[in-house]
């Protein structure tokens, strides 16, 4: 009888083994699904409205970071492996929309950390909501100094603020002796606060500020502002705007025959400017820059190459800052060994030290990081060069 049973098992063994293999595969799949969980990260930015273009750069940086983490198999925290999922809300560049988005992320989605925003005005509306609901918020683009001057321990910012950016650029302007200087900027907190601080720096050094002109978002005719500046006899004009209105201002100034030294902010230091104007129109223009993508610095060059492969264009500073912001958030959760204890994550952020693609990110007692700031200049061939802190050749900015 035992022999017959043995022969029966031997005859059935291939089917049994096949069934065992199928069962094993199913169990392994279920086990993997149970082990790899989803870690939701809140993102607030403008995906529509007048700030949608810079919002796309910011979102590219967040997505690139998340995809790289997921491609490596995720991140392991407290013994659990997570894949990153971005929960994105469109704030439209409107403070009330931004505050509502942070409230939803904190109370409905219950994310452990929130990143993003473009407009300083929106960021200032979001910060109290993050504090009230005890969720860390990491800003990666807005530059108003007041964002990190409110004594809010739940607010962090990876990018340099206007005062830091302005100091480096003001020193360069003063050294060149351009005088007088005029301004054209957004009629909002970012424009007015930026122009106000730069004016103080220049006037303290004996530079005359001949005009301060403002425009509203969506405005396209800058003839009145340029006419006032021409009458004031400015030798240089600094723009507190982004590429599209900035290019229109330069184009209209050229049509008027107005010849001045152009000075820009972060937005003017990328190849995106060449989509609006030929190199001849911006040759000699200078701007401060947090991330000169062609700089001969390995961390910058490597990121630029990866970004180019992913999105088909040169890396933008907003993307680099946002990439680092997400990486810093992940490092903080690893350091705190939790994805749910927001107080522990906040404490980890306050003591983090992270070498990012924009440089060292280490927050001071107000939650402000102090990455390097550069001054770059457009060359006649459509490339850029670094002027400060260390001068470089065309093609390295």
* pLDDT tens string 5-62: 434 434 444 444 444 444 444 434 444 445 899 999 999 999 999 889 889 999 999 9
Rounded CA gap, 351 and 48, in Å?
A: 35
CB atoms inside a 10 Å sphere around CB 376: 25
Residues 383 and 242 in one domain: yes
pLDDT for 17 equals 42
Residue 320, H or E segment: helix 317-336
CATH number at residue 153: 3.40.50.2300
**pLDDT tens, residue by residue, 161-193:** 988 888 889 999 999 999 999 999 999 877 898
**In a domain? residue 48:** yes
pLDDT for 28 equals 43
Residues 106 and 228 in one domain: no
Contact 141, 120 (CB under 8 A): no
- Cis omega (within 30 of 0) for bond into 298: no
φ, ψ at 86 (rounded to 5°): -90, 130
β 354-356/359-361 pair status:
antiparallel
The residue among 258, 262, 250 whose CA lies nearest residue 169 is 262
Rounded CA gap, 204 and 202, in Å?
A: 5
Average pLDDT value for the chain: 91
Residues 40 and 155 in one domain: yes
Local structure of 270: helix, strand or coil = coil
Contact 261, 284 (CB under 8 A): yes
pLDDT for 250 equals 98
pLDDT for 263 equals 97
**In a domain? residue 28:** no
Tokens of 346: 């906040």
pLDDT for 20 equals 43
Tokens of 48: 């529509």
Cα angle vertex 59, ends 58, 65, to 5°? 100
Residues 240 and 148 in one domain: no
Rounded CA gap, 385 and 392, in Å?
A: 6
CB atoms inside a 10 Å sphere around CB 386: 21
Rounded CA gap, 83 and 66, in Å?
A: 8
Residues 168 and 253 in one domain: yes
Tokens of 252: 């209209």
Residues 127 and 246 in one domain: no
The residue among 397, 342, 287 whose CA lies nearest residue 109 is 342
**In a domain? residue 73:** yes
**In a domain? residue 10:** no
Rounded CA gap, 353 and 358, in Å?
A: 13
For the chain, list residues with pLDDT below 70: 1-34
- Number of structural domains found in the chain: 2
Residues 203 and 145 in one domain: no
Task: Please give the C-alpha separations between residue 31 and each of 26, 37, 172, 200, 238, in angstroms, as whole numbers.
Answer: 8, 11, 60, 62, 59
Sign of the Cα pseudo-torsion (375, 379, 381, 386, in order): negative
Residues 167 and 65 in one domain: no
Tokens of 73: 């198999």
Rounded CA gap, 189 and 196, in Å?
A: 10
Residues 62 and 112 in one domain: yes
pLDDT for 349 equals 98
Instruction: Record the pTM.
Output: 0.84
Residues 6+ apart with CB under 8 A from 61: 140, 318, 319, 320, 321, 322, 323, 324, 325, 326
Residues 242 and 144 in one domain: no
Tell me the helices (H) and strands (E) count for the chain, helix number first: 12, 15
pLDDT for 18 equals 47
Residues 137 and 77 in one domain: yes
**Structure letter (DSSP) for residue 314:** P
Contact 245, 225 (CB under 8 A): no
Rounded CA gap, 268 and 89, in Å?
A: 27
**In a domain? residue 31:** no
Residues 6+ apart with CB under 8 A from 272: 243, 313, 314, 316
CB atoms inside a 10 Å sphere around CB 4: 8
Boundaries of domain holding 225: 163-289+375-388
Residues 205 and 240 in one domain: yes
């Amino acid at each position: 009888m035992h022999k017959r049973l043995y022969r029966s098992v031997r005859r059935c063994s291939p089917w049994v083994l096949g069934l065992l293999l199928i069962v094993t595969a199913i169990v392994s799949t279920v086990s993997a699904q149970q082990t790899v969980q989803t870690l939701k990260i809140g993102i607030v930015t403008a995906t529509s409205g007048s700030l949608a273009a810079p919002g796309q750069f910011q979102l590219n940086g967040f997505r690139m970071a998340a995809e790289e983490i997921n491609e490596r198999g995720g991140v392991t925290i407290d013994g659990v492996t997570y894949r990153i999922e971005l929960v994105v809300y469109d704030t439209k560049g409107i403070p009330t929309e931004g505050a509502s988005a942070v409230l939803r992320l904190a109370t409905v989605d219950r994310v452990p950390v929130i990143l993003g925003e473009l407009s300083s005005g929106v960021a200032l509306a979001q910060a109290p909501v993050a504090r009230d609901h005890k969720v860390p918020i990491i800003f990666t683009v807005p530059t108003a100094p007041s964002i990190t001057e409110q004594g809010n321990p739940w607010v962090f910012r990876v990018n340099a603020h206007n005062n830091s950016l302005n100091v480096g650029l003001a020193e360069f302007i003063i050294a060149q002796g351009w005088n007088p200087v005029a301004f054209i900027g957004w009629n909002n907190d970012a424009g007015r606060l930026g122009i106000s601080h730069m004016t103080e720096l220049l006037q303290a050094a004996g530079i005359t500020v001949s005009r301060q002109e403002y425009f509203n978002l969506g405005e396209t005719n800058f003839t009145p502002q340029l006419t006032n500046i021409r009458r004031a006899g400015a030798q240089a004009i600094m723009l507190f705007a982004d590429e599209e209105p900035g290019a229109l201002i330069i184009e209209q100034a050229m049509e008027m025959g107005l010849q001045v030294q152009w000075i820009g902010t972060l937005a003017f230091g990328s190849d995106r400017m060449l989509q609006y104007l030929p190199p001849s129109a911006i040759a000699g223009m200078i701007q401060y820059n947090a991330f000169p993508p062609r700089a001969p610095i390995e961390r910058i060059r490597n990121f630029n190459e990866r970004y180019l492969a992913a999105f088909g264009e040169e890396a933008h500073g907003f993307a680099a800052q946002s990439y680092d912001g997400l990486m810093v958030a992940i490092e903080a959760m690893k350091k705190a060994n939790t994805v749910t204890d927001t107080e522990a994550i906040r404490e980890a952020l306050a003591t983090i030290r992270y070498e990012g693609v924009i440089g060292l990110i280490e927050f001071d007692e107000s939650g402000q990081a102090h990455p390097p700031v550069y001054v770059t200049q457009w060359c006649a061939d459509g490339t850029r060069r670094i002027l400060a802190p260390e001068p470089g050749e065309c093609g390295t900015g």
